[in-house]
Every structure is written in structure tokens, then in C-alpha cells.
């Protein structure tokens, strides 16, 4: 049973990590706790629903299209909500409140237009085969999430460290003003970061929606709390940290539920968050902030 529980934990953790990747990227580069992030997740899942159910596309065509849709929504929302504040150099709290207001308005509007009902992707969209090896079971959609989270971490690490765009993004994360003086178009870079983060959220929404088979306007909201823990424990903007923290959170929750008491799993998970921040205020893998004198 322990082996199956560890697998359960890793699969759950992979879905947390997948959700948190774009969030931590946005957080790390744009220095804004962008609460609209959860909405891109819902938007990606709904885009995939319409593309597969109404337009009749297969999942492999719908997944990138849904991700791009969510990415474009992210760019539009960043331009609408946050770009004016960046220009005015508004304090971080103002940006946080704007995204809070924005995301509540978006969830309510989406519920009013789409209805609160839970929808499911058309049956048979992915092969529901469950792989069984020595009594351990993993379903196909769960494997997708696991593979996707590792592949996307790899892709992001490559993007950030080995491309010119990555260099620009890192420069901007370090110091937006200096980056601007060095000739980096910070507005364009911010839009690109939003786009990539939105795509990641959208793809996460599709894959997680596929696994739990429940798509509704508020689905992003319920992931946000876990997303926060993963981003903070992993270290702001730390992609690898998010993956490790996500997996760790999943395993801790599952082991607590499996061996201690299922009612305590959140208490334990969030107590660990507090403990991590006590001992390592910049997150498990975060380096202390040297800049910002």
C-alpha cells in the first residue's frame, strides 16, 4: 500500500506543480502576485471543452489551441489590469488588489455566462486505460500530467537559461529599470511572460480537467491556494523549486491522509508551509534577496 500511496502523492504533486509553473514565472519576473492566474486555468479547460465537444477536435489539436487561448487572455488581462499600474509605478499592494478584483469579476461573469454546472470533456477523448504493474495503478491522464510537468519544467529552464528571450526575462526579473536602459523592451517582455504563463495555466487546466473530469468556472480558484504554497515553498520564480515543492506537497498530503488522518492533511500541509518560511524565508530553494537595497 505504501508504494501505491507514494505514486498517488507524486501524481497529485505533479498536478500542483503543473498548475504552479506559470504562476511562479509571473511572480518571479513581473513581481506581482497575479490572482487572475487561476482564471487562465479555467479558461484553458473551457476552451478545450468547446474545441473538443463543439468543434469536434481531438485532444492533441485542442490542447495547444486551448493553451494559446489562455495565453492570449493572460496578455489581454495583463495589458488591461497591470500595465497601467506598472507605468505609474504603483505599489505592489495596488497590483495585488487589482488582480483580486479582476479575478472575482471574471469568475462571476464566467459563471453568469457559462452557468455554474460542472461539465466533462467528451468521453473517449483520451484512452482511459489504467496501467497496472505489480498491483500499482496509474491512469493515462495521470501519466500525461506527470510527463507534462517534467517536460514543461525542462522547456522553461531551457527558455530562461539558453535563449535571448530568457536572458531578457532574467534581466527584467533582476531589475526592470536597468533592463530597460540596456535596450530590453520591458513592455514586450512582460507581455511575453504573461503569454507563456497563460499558456502553461491553460495547458494545466486541460490536463487536470481531463484527469478529474470536472470543468467549471471556479476550478482555478480551488487550485490557487495550493499554487501559492508551491510557489512560496519552492521560492519565487524558481521553476525547479516549484516542481520539487509541488511533488513534496502532494506526497505529504497523501501520506498524512493515508497514515495519519484524512481530516488533517491540509493542517499538516500548511503547517509545513509555515515551518519552511520560519527557517527559510525565501522558500526551500530560494536565495535571500540581495538586491533591493
The site for other proteins (CB under 8 A) is made up of 1, 4-5, 8-9, 11-12, 15, 108, 111-112, 115-118, 120, 123, 130, 132, 137, 139, 142, 208, 212-214, 216, 218, 222, 253-258, 262-263, 265-266
Answer yes or no: are the C-beta atoms of 205 and 48 closer than 8 Å: yes
Answer yes or no: are the C-beta atoms of 133 and 4 closer than 8 Å: no
Nearest CB to other proteins, comparing residues 116 and 187:
116
Round to whole Å and give the CA distance between 285 and 230. 11
**Total residues found in the chain within this entry:** 293
Residue 16: count other Cβ atoms within 10 Å of its Cβ: 26
Output phi, psi for 146, to 5 deg.
-60, -50
Quick one: residue 175, left, alpha or beta (phi over 0 = left, psi -120 to 50 = alpha)? beta
Taking the complex as a whole, how short is the minimal distance between the CB of residue 224 and other proteins, in angstroms? 11
Nearest to 197, CA basis, from 72, 88, 59: 72
Nearest to 250, CA basis, from 223, 289, 290: 223
Taking the complex as a whole, how short is the minimal distance between the CB of residue 66 and other proteins, in angstroms? 19
Taking the complex as a whole, how short is the minimal distance between the CB of residue 138 and other proteins, in angstroms? 8
Taking the complex as a whole, how short is the minimal distance between the CB of residue 286 and other proteins, in angstroms? 27
Nearest CB to other proteins, comparing residues 123 and 183:
123
Taking the complex as a whole, how short is the minimal distance between the CB of residue 44 and other proteins, in angstroms? 16
Round to whole Å and give the CA distance between 31 and 26. 7
Nearest CB to other proteins, comparing residues 169 and 215:
215
H or E segment and range at residue 137: strand 136-139
Nearest CB to other proteins, comparing residues 193 and 252:
252
H or E segment and range at residue 146: helix 140-162
Taking the complex as a whole, how short is the minimal distance between the CB of residue 249 and other proteins, in angstroms? 11
Nearest CB to other proteins, comparing residues 216 and 242:
216
Nearest CB to other proteins, comparing residues 179 and 216:
216
Amino acid at each position: 500500500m505504501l508504494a501505491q500511496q507514494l505514486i498517488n502523492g507524486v501524481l497529485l504533486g505533479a498536478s500542483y506543480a503543473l498548475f504552479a509553473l506559470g504562476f511562479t514565472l509571473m511572480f518571479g519576473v513581473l513581481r506581482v502576485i497575479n490572482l487572475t492566474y487561476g482564471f487562465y486555468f479555467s479558461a484553458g479547460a473551457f476552451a478545450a471543452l468547446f474545441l473538443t465537444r463543439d468543434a469536434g477536435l481531438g485532444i492533441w489539436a485542442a490542447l495547444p489551441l486551448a493553451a494559446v487561448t489562455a495565453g492570449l487572455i493572460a496578455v489581454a488581462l495583463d495589458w488591461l489590469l497591470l500595465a497601467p499600474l506598472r507605468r505609474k509605478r504603483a505599489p505592489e499592494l495596488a497590483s495585488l488588489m487589482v488582480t483580486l478584483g479582476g479575478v472575482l469579476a471574471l469568475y462571476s461573469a464566467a459563471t453568469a455566462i457559462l452557468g455554474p454546472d460542472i461539465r466533462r470533456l467528451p468521453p473517449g477523448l483520451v484512452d482511459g486505460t489504467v496501467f497496472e504493474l505489480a498491483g500499482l495503478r496509474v491512469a493515462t491522464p495521470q501519466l500525461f500530467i506527470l510527463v507534462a510537468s517534467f517536460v514543461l519544467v525542462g522547456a522553461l529552464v531551457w527558455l530562461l537559461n539558453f535563449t535571448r528571450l530568457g536572458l531578457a526575462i532574467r534581466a527584467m526579473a533582476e531589475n526592470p529599470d536597468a533592463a530597460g536602459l540596456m535596450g530590453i523592451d520591458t513592455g514586450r517582455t512582460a507581455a511575453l511572460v504573461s503569454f507563456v504563463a497563460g499558456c502553461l495555466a491553460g495547458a494545466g487546466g486541460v490536463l487536470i480537467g481531463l484527469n478529474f473530469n470536472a470543468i467549471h468556472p471556479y476550478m482555478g480558484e480551488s487550485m490557487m491556494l495550493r499554487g501559492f504554497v508551491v510557489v512560496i515553498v519552492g521560492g519565487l520564480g524558481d521553476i525547479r523549486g516549484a516542481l520539487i515543492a509541488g511533488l513534496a506537497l502532494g506526497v505529504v498530503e497523501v501520506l498524512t491522509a493515508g497514515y495519519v488522518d484524512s481530516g488533517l492533511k491540509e493542517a499538516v500541509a500548511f503547517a509545513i508551509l509555515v515551518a519552511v518560511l520560519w527557517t527559510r524565508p525565501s522558500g526551500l530553494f530560494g536565495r535571500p534577496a540581495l538586491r533591493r537595497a
